[in-house]
Structure 1
Amino acid sequence: MVSLGPALERLAGYASASHWRACALLLLLALGSFLPGFSTLPPFDRDEPRFAQASKQMLESGDFVDIRFQQEARHKKPVGIYWLQSAAVSAGEHFGVPDARVQMWLYRLPSLVGAIATVLLTYWALLAFVSPRLALLGGALMAAAVLLGVEARIAKTDAVLAACAVATMGALARAWLDWTRSLPFVPDRRNWLVFWGATAIALLIKGPIVPMIWGLAIIVLSIRERSFRWLKPLRPLSGLILCLIVVMPWVAAIAWKTGGAFFSESVGNDMLGKVAEGQEKHWGPPGLYLLIFFGTYWPAAAFAAMAVPFAWVRRREPQILFLLAWIIPSWIVFEAVPTKLPHYVLPLYPAITALLLLAVVNDGINRFRFGAVATAWLVFIVPAALVGVILYANWTFDHTLPYIALPVLALALIVAVLVVNAFRRSDFEGALWRCVVASLLLSIGVFGLAYDSLRSLHLSPRLAESVRAAGCANPAVMTVGYREPSLVFLTGTDLAMGADGAAAAAFLAQPGCRVALVEKRFALDFQAAIARAGTVPRLVTTIRGFNINGGKPLEIGVFARQ
């Protein structure tokens, strides 16, 4: 056996000897990857605070059917993630978490659970393809993947959706490989329940995305077999009834509540809008996902790329065919849709992991192939570039460096070099385990230590803090110019959005404790309107920072009147 290094060798051997040990190790790896920064990172505009604010408003209003962001109907996604987030916050309140409804980490808990489930379910799914030892490695590589680590820290749908996707595809793989006599064990009789239960949850989380993934795979495989009979163990009729039982109560309730407007908005505007044109400035050309793959699937992406020739040569074998049917049709759909967001392809990454491991165990990766070592160096180049960006941003925006993070980031880069050295010795399994270690260190360095020092990017938390420092309880607040959803989440559902400086001046002229946040480009109009009104608001502070979404520096005055 190729050596993994004494410590990694013993750890992999010990954990893979028992499914419980393997799951325990994967749980620890997932927590080590996902927890750094989990509770300290500010809300990521714009999607995360939109989801969290809508969940918060459910708790405020007691309406758990309709979905709203302030007064605007948010008829884009089904209700599942909002229910999960509301339940997490309610549990936080029950256990005495201070100010639970503005603690973003509580809203992130469903994403954390979804990401951990994705890791564990990847291990379960891969047991249909490789040995427990390699399945353990596959789960570890998913825990190490950059994209899953990001989604674990964001309060939205995609980590939970990825868990649903890998559960359905793991169950589908067992049905297919049993039919082709390629499965080394007999599938559990409850396999159909896993498939349809995960599908039902996925429908409530993000509509038809997961059914699209397994539906395209089923079409490809059934054309290959010229039969759908291999699906019989999955009990399609019983499964569809289960989905209807789970989904239809809310579907009927939202249809009655909105008069059918939810479906015209979610299907007609949101879904079809993404197909017709790039939505919300998220347009991207075909091929973009391949281009960013080496960053989003880091650290294993370089080795996955080397497995492509192996997958092509053995594409007709049942295992490889299934994984290609999982990946290629859906990948083509995502590339063809003009709206491009990195997380769209996340449900396909467990299949890529399986292909990589099959290539490793079947001598499908050639260290002597032209360009192989250069490709392996991407394991070092990608994090080195990220560290460079972080250092540049710290120095440019805040005139400092994340000193406490530097030793950890340097150690992550050293381990990345050790990955390349292991690859050059043809120690592929050892290289991949070292990838996991490098990712753990990078996660601690970036999310746990370095990002917190980028105070210029924390505009909304600093503005919310200045509102609390205005000197009165529960002030009415208006913002002019800066309109990010994170500010609504942190300051309150009733945050007013002013059109110009005159609106802010008129707002402050009204009775009661009031705070106005005025961006610098509206300052002259604001001061002129204040002078005409004869009011004298107090300048609490001036907040300077950088808005990533706008791509520009901002200066915002915080004015209070009591």
Structure 2
Amino acid sequence: MRKTSSKEFWLLAITALLVIGAGLGMRDPWPSDEPRFALVAKQMVESGNWLFPHRGIELYSDKPPMLMWLQAALYTLLRDWRVAFLLPSLLAALGTLACVYDLGRRLWTRRVGLYAAWALLFTLHFTFQAKKAQIDPLVVCFITLGNYGLLRHLLLGPHWRWWAAGWFFAGIGVITKGVGVVALLMLLPAVIASVAGWPRVRVHVRDARFWWGPAAFLLAIALWLLPVVVAALATGEPEYRAYLNDILFRQTAKRYAQSWDHPQPVWYHLATMATMWIPVILALPWAIPAWWRRLRRRDARYLLPLAWWVLVLVFFSIPSGKRDVYILPALPMFCLALAPLLPGLLRKRGPQWLVWAFTALVSGVCLAGGLSMLFGEPAFERKLLDSRGAGGDVGVAVAWVLLACGAWGVAMLAWLRVRGAAFALLSLLGVVWVIYGLIGYPLLNDSSSSRGVMREAGRRIGPDAELGLVAWKEQNLLMADRPAANFGFKVPWAEQLRRGVAWQAERPASRWLLVQEPAMQACIDRGRAEIVGTANRRRWWLVPADAVVGPCKPSASELDRERQEQGNIDVE
């Protein structure tokens, strides 16, 4: 029995590593957030300033530096940015899966732990984010570690070390993305259940060791906050004080209370769960009555993760600004509470037919998409690929990939039939993610990362020329084949262009400007400039000194256009 359990665990671990890690080292950072964090990490390594992150010549205060620290540290160890920038997400995803598995094993059985981890691994939202180098996989891991420590104490305790560890990881989540504090919402249903006399759950408030938790939470935050505050105040530089004010107040409490981007309706996260928590969300019609029966029996193993899920949903539904990733931290606890029900649900004909139909739908969409790209009207396909700077060969390759995935899904359904529909779906999703990593990454990398545009720009200006960036995105500076000058990131584009032209005039024979098309003003003769390429739906121009034919003073219409374009980009 133990040997079988060990094999099942290692099958899960190897599958997770393959599904999430496929393609590691085969692509560069892709927008919208990946190039920003990788650039900040790269500048940390190059400058040696790890305490105050920079984006170009400006301080970067939008997010705490935890992810960038890890990327920079891994690059220092591995000396390969293509691996280092994605590795934190891979490790975080594996850590989250391990927490969910072990909680399921300890609270119920080893089989339940495996079901919880399998369900989480193949939920679209989790896998999609785990394969991206954003902060969210990392903060989900720290929040789940916080949940893990608290539940080990509240349901299986008292375990005071795990109690302190849960608070500590919640604090690490705070210095990763502010919202790590939501892990502590687990205490609210725990206190209510304890006061109401529910079995198994105890908070142990009267024990002096209770205060280990808050102390560990503050210690975790102080690991970053104390050095940065001391250093900022010691320098006396206004820009460092502005950095503190922005990251401690504007980007946290003010962003929550007065969101200034991504406005969405109050039900937005419900729609996110309905569409992105597939396939586990398909079990909800059968899970809700089953959960209700267990809650009526006062089973706190269900109450705490389910109540926490609802609290997180409410927490992120209050502000007007919402993104799909905000609700992602609730997914591991949802899968944990669902896992004990899955063996029974998957034996029922209703869920089996629903999973079969969904698998057939995904397979059919893949087949239809591939056939349409190969034999249908090419106008839409060509327009889509051209807007991203990808060639026609990429479209053909993507079409064959879609056909292969669709054919695999149909074959698995024909072989396993309705009773094996769940396995057919997991195998289809696994194939999709592995092919996406191993084939999709190389196919889409040049156009998605700006690698192609920056390589072509370097080739055209020659190895000895200098390059300045105007209206640039992080991937341009990151992918440049030489140290590139920049004139601020949040600086208005018109001012960037003015500074860039002045910089170019100092050495007109050897300096070029790379300018995003919306920032091109009438002072630039487009007949003398060169279109260097398109990436991520943006067109880029190479501007030599002799293409600047007058003073760059934008008209009112040009200013309005630039403000609109820059505003759209800044909230991506």
Same fold (TM over 0.5): yes
Q: Taking structure 1 as reference, are residues 520 and 70 closer, same or farther at Cα in structure 2, changes over 3 Å only?
A: closer
Structure 1 residue 446, shift from structure 2 partner: 2.9
Q: Taking structure 1 as reference, are residues 339 and 389 closer, same or farther at Cα in structure 2, changes over 3 Å only?
A: farther
- Please state if 1:220 is matched with 2:198: no
1:105 partner SS: helix
Q: Taking structure 1 as reference, are residues 149 and 466 closer, same or farther at Cα in structure 2, changes over 3 Å only?
A: same
Structure 1 residue 440, shift from structure 2 partner: 1.3
1:516 is aligned to: 513
2:562 is aligned to: none
Q: Which residue of the other structure, out of 118, 136, 147, is the alignment partner of 1:169?
A: 147
- Please state if 1:324 is matched with 2:293: no
User: Which digits, 9 at most, give the CA deviation of each residue in 1:130-187, with x for residues without a partner?
Assistant: 32123123212322233232323333321122122222222322333337xxxxxxx8
Superposed counterparts of 1:47-446, under 5 Å: 47-93=33-79, 97=80, 103-178=81-156, 190-192=161-163, 194-207=165-178, 209-213=179-183, 215-226=184-195, 229-231=202-204, 235-259=209-233, 261-280=242-261, 282-304=262-284, 306-316=286-296, 317-361=299-343, 363=345, 367-368=349-350, 373=353, 377-381=357-361, 394-396=381-383, 397=385, 398-400=391-393, 402-404=395-397, 406=399, 409-413=402-406, 416=409, 425=418, 427=419, 430-446=420-436
1:32 is aligned to: 18
User: Which digits, 9 at most, give the CA deviation of each residue in 1:5-29, with x for residues without a partner?
Assistant: xxxxxxxx887513xx454333311
Structure 1 residue 117, shift from structure 2 partner: 1.1
Take 1:456 and 1:489, find their aligned partners in 2: how far apart are those partners?
A: 13
Would you say the 8 A contact 1:367–1:373 is kept in 2?
Answer: yes
User: Which digits, 9 at most, give the CA deviation of each residue in 1:332-387, with x for residues without a partner?
Assistant: 11122222222222221112212322222455985448xx8457634444575578
% identity of equivalent residues: 19
Take 1:505 and 1:204, find their aligned partners in 2: how far apart are those partners?
A: 40
Structure 1 residue 118, shift from structure 2 partner: 1.3
1:543 partner SS: strand
Letter in 2 for 1:338: S
Letter in 2 for 1:518: V
Take 1:544 and 1:337, find their aligned partners in 2: how far apart are those partners?
A: 36
Between stretches 288-297 and 470-479, larger displacement belongs to 470-479
Letter in 1 for 2:84: L
Q: Which residue of the other structure, out of 466, 472, 477, is the alignment partner of 2:456?
A: 466
Would you say the 8 A contact 2:89–2:137 is kept in 1?
Answer: yes
Query: TM-score if structure 2 supplies the norm length?
Result: 0.77
Q: Taking structure 1 as reference, are residues 411 and 136 closer, same or farther at Cα in structure 2, changes over 3 Å only?
A: farther
1:550 is aligned to: none
Take 2:61 and 2:454, find their aligned partners in 1: how far apart are those partners?
A: 28
Take 1:240 and 1:141, find their aligned partners in 2: how far apart are those partners?
A: 32
Letter in 2 for 1:139: A
Structure 1 residue 329, shift from structure 2 partner: 0.5
Take 1:424 and 1:234, find their aligned partners in 2: how far apart are those partners?
A: 58
Query: TM-score if structure 1 supplies the norm length?
Result: 0.78
Structure 1 residue 87, shift from structure 2 partner: 0.3
Structure 1 residue 439, shift from structure 2 partner: 1.6
Structure 2 alignment gaps of length 5 or more:
234-240, 386-390, 547-572
1:314 partner SS: helix
Q: Which runs of 4+ in 1 moved over 6 A?
A: 386-390, 418-424, 500-503
Would you say the 8 A contact 2:316–2:327 is kept in 1?
Answer: yes
Structure 1 residue 42, shift from structure 2 partner: 3.8
Q: Taking structure 1 as reference, are residues 387 and 158 closer, same or farther at Cα in structure 2, changes over 3 Å only?
A: farther
Would you say the 8 A contact 1:456–1:544 is kept in 2?
Answer: no
2:541 is aligned to: 557
Letter in 2 for 1:337: P
Would you say the 8 A contact 1:543–1:556 is kept in 2?
Answer: yes
Would you say the 8 A contact 1:380–1:417 is kept in 2?
Answer: yes
Would you say the 8 A contact 2:143–2:182 is kept in 1?
Answer: no
Take 1:464 and 1:342, find their aligned partners in 2: how far apart are those partners?
A: 31
2:473 is aligned to: 484
Structure 1 residue 128, shift from structure 2 partner: 3.0
Would you say the 8 A contact 2:169–2:217 is kept in 1?
Answer: no
Structure 1 residue 403, shift from structure 2 partner: 4.4
Take 1:202 and 1:523, find their aligned partners in 2: how far apart are those partners?
A: 42
Structure 1 residue 442, shift from structure 2 partner: 0.9
Would you say the 8 A contact 1:169–1:195 is kept in 2?
Answer: yes
Structure 1 residue 454, shift from structure 2 partner: 4.3
User: Which digits, 9 at most, give the CA deviation of each residue in 1:473-531, with x for residues without a partner?
Assistant: 474323345x3222122225633465287766555443163222234456572544x99
Take 1:327 and 1:29, find their aligned partners in 2: how far apart are those partners?
A: 27
1:525 is aligned to: 522
Take 1:265 and 1:387, find their aligned partners in 2: how far apart are those partners?
A: 49
Take 2:461 and 2:355, find their aligned partners in 1: how far apart are those partners?
A: 58
Structure 1 alignment gaps of length 5 or more:
1-12, 98-102, 180-186, 548-553
Would you say the 8 A contact 1:480–1:501 is kept in 2?
Answer: yes
Q: Taking structure 1 as reference, are residues 272 and 189 closer, same or farther at Cα in structure 2, changes over 3 Å only?
A: closer
Would you say the 8 A contact 1:53–1:489 is kept in 2?
Answer: yes
Letter in 2 for 1:288: Y
